[in-house]
Amino acid sequence: MHSIHIPVLLQEVIDVLSPKQGGIYVDGTLGGGGHSEALARRVGPEGLVVSMDRDLEAIDQSEQWLRQVFAADSDRRNLPIRFVHANYRYFDEALDLLNIEKVDGILLDLGLSSDQLADRRRGFSFDSEGELDLRFDPSEGETASELLARLKEEEIADLIFQYGEERCSRRIARRIVERQQQSRPLRTARELAELVRACVPVRWKTQCKTKKQNKHSVKIDPATRTFQALRIAVNDELGSLQGILEKAPQRLKPGGVMVVISFHSLEDRIVKNAFRDDPRWEILTKKPLVASDEEIECNPRARSAKLRAARKY
């Protein structure tokens, strides 16, 4: 089955990266393969896209689909993609193994894919009976429910506040610990979502990107921030992002471009500061690029996407 994930800001990614025939690019977040496909078509049989993901299911599904797509295209039997099951923070090790010294561009499209959200076994979807897991790579590290069972009340509150920017973090942490003390540990995503909804009021978020555009009013599920915080923690998402941003300039050719699409302010701040503070970068996006109203209408997930790009001097 092909992915249900729609790549965000696809045209913007192509415009900024401007992939060239014969070029070498890293897609650190393969997901459903939409961005990798577009890159592979532009680099052609002489080029290469190194497509990475921590999620083996995403790798398997996208590899199968992309092999079919490129085999059906009689001019391009040679699929110019290498699939790598690894954290993108180790992209330099993947390049070493492929004997590639420097690349023309790096793309990150952060967060989780619609396929992961729809997979009811993995706990990403708030109303699923799946285990409260939230790992991109289920073979590595502890699950969200194991993390909650290990941490003290104060640590849980700090985590939810720091990574979810959730104002009701203390109340949520207290309820989680009370439940655990009654020998009722949180096992499923639904159990956590119900607990959080009982602690946090529903909020509406009004988005208005430019004066010309219509306002989008979106109802935010009260559980969103807590799930985001736990997902960031179990996957060390911010550590991975910082890791690749530190190493990227060494592995980009002069003139090579890095593009990062983020979905919340913590990630966006890390990208913005990394581009600003390292003199090896020339910033290409003074303000982040965001999705048009048309794109948001077709793909509501695009509403919080922010694209930042920088060129290696």
Ligand X SMILES: C[S@@+](CC[C@H](N)C(=O)[O-])C[C@H]1O[C@@H](n2cnc3c(N)ncnc32)[C@H](O)[C@@H]1O
Closest CB to ligand X belongs to which residue? Answer: 31
Confirm or reject binding of residue 31 to ligand X (CB under 6 A): yes
Q: Using CB under 6 A, which of 16, 50, 80, 87 touches ligand X? A: 87
Sign of the four-CA dihedral 169, 171, 173, 175: negative
195 vs 260, which CB is nearer to ligand X? Answer: 260
Q: Are 148 and 181 in contact (CB under 8 A)?
A: no
Residues 43-62 that bind ligand X (CB under 6 A): 52-55, 58
Q: Using CB under 6 A, which of 33, 47, 80, 105 touches ligand X? A: 33
Q: Using CB under 6 A, which of 19, 111, 130, 222 touches ligand X? A: 111
Residues 135-164 that bind ligand X (CB under 6 A): 136
Q: Using CB under 6 A, which of 88, 124, 163, 281 touches ligand X? A: 88
Site size for ligand X (CB under 6 A)? 23
Confirm or reject binding of residue 19 to ligand X (CB under 6 A): no
In the complex, least distance from residue 186 CB atom to ligand X, rounded to whole angstroms: 23
Which region among 74-82, 85-93, 139-147, 273-281 touches ligand X (by CB under 6 A)?
85-93
Tokens of 217: 């009013």
- The 3-state secondary structure of the chain reads CCCCCCCCCHHHHHHHHCCCCCCEEEECCCCCCHHHHHHHHHHCCCCEEEEEECCHHHHHHHHHHHHHHHHHCHHHCCCCEEEEECCHHHHHHHHHHCCCCCEEEEEEECCCCHHHHHCCCCCCCCCCCCECCCCCCCCCCCCHHHHHHHCCHHHHHHHHHHHHCCCCHHHHHHHHHHHHHCCCCCCEHHHHHHHHHCCCCCEEEEECCCCCCCCEEEEECCCHHHHHHHHHHHHCHHHHHHHHHHHHHHHEEEEEEEEEEECCHHHHHHHHHHHHHCCCEEECCCCCECCCHHHHHHCHHHHHCEEEEEEEC
109 vs 166, which CB is nearer to ligand X? Answer: 109
Confirm or reject binding of residue 105 to ligand X (CB under 6 A): no
Q: Which amino acid is at 252?
A: L
23 vs 33, which CB is nearer to ligand X? Answer: 33
**x/- string (CB under 6 A) for ligand X, residues 240-279?**
x---------------------------------------
Confirm or reject binding of residue 32 to ligand X (CB under 6 A): yes
Confirm or reject binding of residue 109 to ligand X (CB under 6 A): yes
Looking at residue 301, the DSSP 8-state letter turns out to be G
Confirm or reject binding of residue 222 to ligand X (CB under 6 A): no
Which region among 83-91, 175-183, 214-222, 280-288 touches ligand X (by CB under 6 A)?
83-91
28 vs 47, which CB is nearer to ligand X? Answer: 28
For ligand X, the binding residues (CB under 6 A) are 5, 7, 28-29, 31-35, 52-55, 58, 87-89, 109, 111-113, 136, 240
